[in-house]
Structure 1
Amino acid sequence: MMRLVPGFLAALWFISPVMAQESFRVELGRDGETIGDMRPVFLKFESRPLPAISPSEVARRYQSLFRNSDEPEVRIDALNRLSNIRDRSGEDIGFSPSEEVQVYREAISSYESILERGSFSGSLDELLYQMAKAHALTGNHEESIQRLKQLVGLYPDSPLVPEARFRIAESAFASGRYAEAEAGYRQLIESGNSAEFSTKARYMLGWSQFKQGAGAWNRAANTFVTVLDEFLPDTRSLETVNASSVDTIDDTFRVLAMMAARKRGADTLVSWLGDNGSRPWVHLLFDRLADYYAILGQTDASVAVNQAFIRYAPNHGKVPAFMLQVVEVWQRAGQPERIRQARAEFVAGFESATGYARLNQSEHEKWQGFSRMLADFHYNRGTRAAESGDINAAQAAFASAADYYEGLARRSAPKGEVLRLAGDARLQAGQFPEALADFRQAAYEVVGYQAAADAGWAAVTLLRDGVEGQRVSRDFRPSLAAVSAEADRFADRFPGDARNAGVMADLSKRWLAAGDHQRALDYSARVITSKEASGPERYAAWQVTAKVRQQQAEYGLAERAWQQALALAENAGTGHSANGLAGAGDMASIRKQLATVVYRQGEGAATSGNAEEAVRHFRRISSILPGSEIAIKGQYDAANTLLKAADWPAAIKGLERFRSDFPGHELASGISEKLVHAWVSSGQPALAASELLQAASGQPAPWTLRLRAAALLHEAGNVAERNALYRDYLATGPAVEDSSGHLQLQTMRHRLVESDAGADRWRQALVRAELDSPWHSEETLAWASRASLVLGARAAATFTSIELSHPLEDSLARKQQALETARQRFLDAEALGGDAVVSESLYRRAELYRGLARDLIASAVPAELNEMEAMQYRMLLEEEAHPFEEKAIRLHSENHQRITSQGYDAWIERSLGVLAKLHPGRYQRDVKWLSWNMEAGDGV
């Protein structure tokens, strides 16, 4: 918990009601951009016709009145009237320039005098405003700003506040206090009554944020975006920009582009702009960033910005221009492949009718030219690939060429030649859908065809190859469902064909991989029940069945299926491995899966709370796959199941046995933690701590475990071992990174203070850590405060024990040093403990000074002095002691005054007892203390 010290607002003493106030304002441009540019404007309380005498004579009289009057209000009024005469007459009369500075200094004194009295017939906010201007003119900039701040704080509703806020923020910006300037500009903007300053304030707000560095650039960007929204609210505003605003707008674009370039470029712009891509100026900002990168020679970055705008505002009217600009950038960089890619993106982007309609005439010509160039390029590439024997590349190139030719044919004339080229390209490209149609017609529509089954099988094979990715094209990507439908059609027409069982077994595996368990089971069942199915096909079907049941968490059925598959593999013998049945590696895999489903049955039993059955399943894994990893894990989980079932003795026995049997296994590393849990849960924290300490001994960073052990030792009441761990840990100098870490360390020190022989050492460490820490809690503050009081009392005792002897200078210096040590301890206690210890601290500090005064007076007179000299020496001692006694009285009195705010306590009672001795006439009374509200004049 952080404690905040309340600020002292001295200006609050000057507030008084002001009736019948008049107001005025000073406009930017006429009155100066900064306080230093302004001339003081004095309050004009009334406006009367000039008398029928010379203005110079009237001015002379008011000058004389200003010089001779002792009344501040009269002097200020005289200056006001001088200002009126100069404004009304238009003559340069009054004080000379050199006199004016002196006069304004005197006027400031008059202002201060009026404020100190708290009474003024005019408007105090205007008076403060004039004081600020006068201070600025006389070169006292800091005082000028302070008066403006006082005006804002005391009169927040004054019409002068917007300008005052602007000038305060302006001063902070000029002084390099950019965070303070940001707060000032923002407060002015958010006040709602700053129309005169809002645009410039927002612009300067952005620069204040920018000047704070990259960490504040997101805020700066949001501000600059708002500035552009204000200057360029609609499309028309782009064409009617005021000449005086051009530089501001250009600077805003420039700084946004520069910030974005130093961050993540276009991505940063998008994050700043949000989803509002309809801003009329947004394309100019992206263009500025793209140009920025291009000027730096960063071609990739420039292209990325253009592409980012296209993604950001895909429907913007400038998208075609940005895409063409990408082409131009790559052309300037001399990158043919990138040029071709950019042209292809342009053609693809406006290939549709609606897209093409977005282009103007020049862009139409570009699109057509690009299409023809790309079509010719791919056609020539296909020809070269075919000549070199690269069929796949040739087919892809011809298909691409055909696409471009067909698209161009729809939008250019003459179309005949273009379409002829497109047809030729299609002819040379592989057209798999047409091939599939031919196979199907031959197999199922041609009557009496002798090779119909082979044709039908070709259709099945083509689709299956398409699923495997061997025969695919842009418009031919068959699904597994299409293969199944084709295989079912084939099996219905040719039921006795020997190839049916194989394709069904293959489909069962494919549907399993696709995640359709029901279809996988259906096809595997058809294989298992088929008379024509071979051993390997049945083996594959049982495997699919086992995997489906396993994935569906039907582990009992899965175990049966794996047993069937294992039996087929074992009965086939090694001589049949060539027929496709399992080899030694496959059989090991089956046993592993069998062990897995048994393990899952154990998991299920454990989840349902049947610990006995779970332990049985876990332990029988060893008979299926002895020595395997899963068997070891089964033994581990058996012990862990007993642990979860709160069977602590059996769990501890099982865990210790596992650690003994498999000491190097990775699971053994967690045994220690589980044993700790078991010991703690069984009410034996000391044994748990011993386990943690044993585990920590082999760790490179052991203190996490040792501290847990210390907590358990604390719980067990083993203070000696706990303190030893605390001392060792604190000796490492641990770093504190958060409030919980601070509380942990302070708790250790506090417990050591309570139980360790070297308590003062830990008190000092406790206080020092609390004073240095940014994190506090009520507990740590109370501990540290009390420790500081104890240390202060010890230091006070040391102070008292020092006798004042000759030479007095030496002993007095030691005594004062001891006093300062004790006093600082008490002040630290106040800083930490707050009101709870202030009374005690005040009393003890007062007694330090009283003791010093008493010891000074009581100190011995040097023996070599005669009677007169001794008397003078004692008088000098009394004079030296008097300030200390007075300071003691002030501190005791301050403690006395706390009765009204904090109530009565023992330390205040002690202070009153001392005061009764020092001032018996005032304090030694038989009265009852009551609480009351002090008037303003009762303060000390």
Structure 2
Amino acid sequence: MSAWPRNLPFAAFMGLVLVTGATAAQESFRVELGGEGDTLGDMRPVFLPFESRPLPAISPAEVARRYQRLFQSSDEPEVRIDALNRLGNIRDRSGEDVGFSPAEEEQAYRQAIDSYEAILERGAYAGRLDELLYQMAKAHALTGQPEASIQRLEQLVGLYPGSPLVSEARFRLAEHAFAAGDYARAETGYRQLLESSQAGELGTKARYMLGWSQFKQGSAAWNRAAGTFVTVLDEFLPDSASLSTVAESNVDTIDDTFRVLALMASRKQGPESLVTWLEGAGHPAWEHLLFDRLADYYAVRGETLASVETHEAFFDWAPEHPSEPAFRLQLVEVWRAAGDPDQARRARAEFVAQYRPLEAYSALGAEHQARWQEFSRELADHAYARGSRFLKEEQDELARDAFRTAAGFYEGLAERVNHAGEVLRLAGDARLQAGQYPLALTDFRQAAYEQTGFAEAADAGWAGIVLLRDGVDGRKTDEAFAPGLSDLTGEADRFLSRFPGDPRGISLMADLAARWLSVGDQTLALDYSARVIGSSGASSDERFAAWQVTARIRQQNGEYGLAERAWNQALKLAESEGVSARVSGQTEELRQQLATVVYRQGEQAAAAGRVDEAVRHFERVAPILPGSEIAIKARYDAANTLLKAAAWGPAVANLEEFRKAFPNHGLAEGISEKLVLAWTESGDYTRAASELLQASANQADPWSYRLRAAELLDRAGNLVERNQLYRDYLAANPSPGDGQQHQQLQTLRYQLMESTEDADYWREALVAAELDSPWHSDASLEWAARASLVLGARAAAAFTRIGLDHPLEQSLARKQEALETARQRFQDAEALGGEQVRSESLFRRAELYRGLANDLMASSVPAELNEMEAMQYQMLLEEEAYPFEEKAIALHRQNHQRITSSGYDPWIGRSLSILAELHPGRYERNLKWLSWNMEVGDGA
């Protein structure tokens, strides 16, 4: 084949070489327009080279040198033309610059034209004339005579239609028409070549140029051009394997074909046009390259949305295409190049979401998997940063949404990387910020316990601990997350087992000990406390907390000795250097607790009857907490313990010391009673009474104390002081409120009556109080009745001592008044004593009347009376005395008659003696008295 086409221009193929395989990245090809014309009319196609035949096995330069010498030395036109043809063939097939230089070649062809003309003029040529015409056309073309060249080609086609050179002649005629801008004629020429049976190896190039001829005719012919170009691509790239085996000589042509198809689509309906043109071709192996070229074209021109639409159209046209990941990645680059980070981020998110399923992710190549991981981390970090910003701006709902998004990306990434610990920890933190506590806990657990080689696994585990602890405390709860203390404990045990050397584990155990104590599980509380105490790495604060829990449990269980040991340890730690201010500030409370358990030991010993031990414990309280309430109470209880043990002497000493030390304390108010008890029980009634009298001075009702003191003075035999207290009390005219109080007052009057010189005063008071009171007792009635009889007897004696002197009226009046006083006393006695004193009362009343009668009869007669007047006066006295004597007899009789109802007693006997004296015939008899019933009605 002639080397004629070697100097024609070639366009550049795609900017990057096509990649191989189903996962070829679309970044590997780019559209580069603008280098071949500024307008559609300026655009020109690139051309395919002719395929040459095999070269002989000698040096091309040597062969060319011989043919060059032959051309220069021969005078025969045929020889010269043949040599020139062979030089061209050798240069074309070898690809080496051999033979004539360009200037020499042009000069050689000018000389050859003369030879061609000479042969034609002779009309005789030993070779084929079709070849001669072909060579003349070439010579004219190389010497700048295109019209002459076309004329020879037309002659060749017209004269020799069956020549093997016709195909090339037709091609060059169509080329000439294309170069002249006659695109319709060029289209016809290319089509005639393709429809003939002689296209041969020029067919591909002719089809390519056919497409360009159609393209140059304008948009009306573009659908035809597109169909032609699709066929060209099918010929160059028939299957997927061909994408990776493109010959370097075809690169520019293929690239130019994609370029012009993309250009036409962009001027029509964009990706819709591509879909239309491809519908008849099915799904060729190169379809993704065409969509990619159009998308890149838009992107270069800044038509971002059109580029994005082209990508999306490809997804719709060829879903699940092997190049889809590359296209989705290129979407990210399109938005990034457009300066729209939000859309670029959205494209990343779509890429991540598209290949989130394990099957889809596994189908990606290693490079695309790496990009997926990169995007996931970028998106997660960005969402987390947004959440943090919203949180700072107090836009809580937006913050939670952002954190949920971040967590989703982190979790998806964790499923795809080998060492996911850090990613899971971040996912857990994002879930935590989003309020999705169960999911956060799951992420923390996976980071801590399911990832090998994660340096911060302990931190992740601790985050889970903190989350559960906040849940237990109510700071982080919802319907799906309400952990209990058992949940926290289980997580803690897992953490402690997995990270035994983590220093936070000790504080965790200390915290659990306190928590289990608060809910009453002493076994677990003691277990965790013991583990803290036994940990060599425990801080002073942690040991302090553990000892506190131990102490409280021992104290709750009544194990006060063990509790004291634990409180002592806690106090020692609190007073040591290096503890926190929180701990050092609890020393006062610790001493209080220590004092309490020591005090409780005293109580236990006292209850068990171990008096000495109890007192020792009570006495140990004050040095622990001097001046405290519990120390004061312990000192008080020490005295009480001695008191209950009947250790009167030590008890009194302790009580008196307590009152002296704490005179104003509330407990001091009861000291007097205890001292009174101690002195009373020890027989020192006088000191007991003195204590009561002192205490009475501070009482609103002092007399309850004074009367008790009086009783103690009575027991001590000190009747003088006792009686004075009674007198003082009764002088206050106390008014009884009930029978008991009345009895008490009467008792005091009776005791005064029995033990003082003014007994009659107290008899009168006793009788008057009894007569006025609505309450009575057998004792008070008896006391009052006897007192009234005594008073009556004293009044009767006074009556007897009153003589009837002149003037008789006056002395008699005094006598009768005295009688009435005595009689009333006796009647009061009867009213109070009843049957027990009636006999004596009747006798004494009768004697009053008999005495009055006797005194009247014995009274002297006035001296100034004569004998008659004296006799009359005496008779008058007898008449006055007679009723009194009769009254006396009646009362004695009434007393006598009581024998039938009450039996005989001495006072009845005395009445009988008086009656026998007054009526000896009737009453002075030796009789045996029998009782009988009779009715007596004397009201005297």
Query: Structure 1 length as normaliser, TM-score?
Result: 0.47
Larger Rg computed on CA atoms: 2
Higher relative contact order (CA 8 A, sep 6+): 2
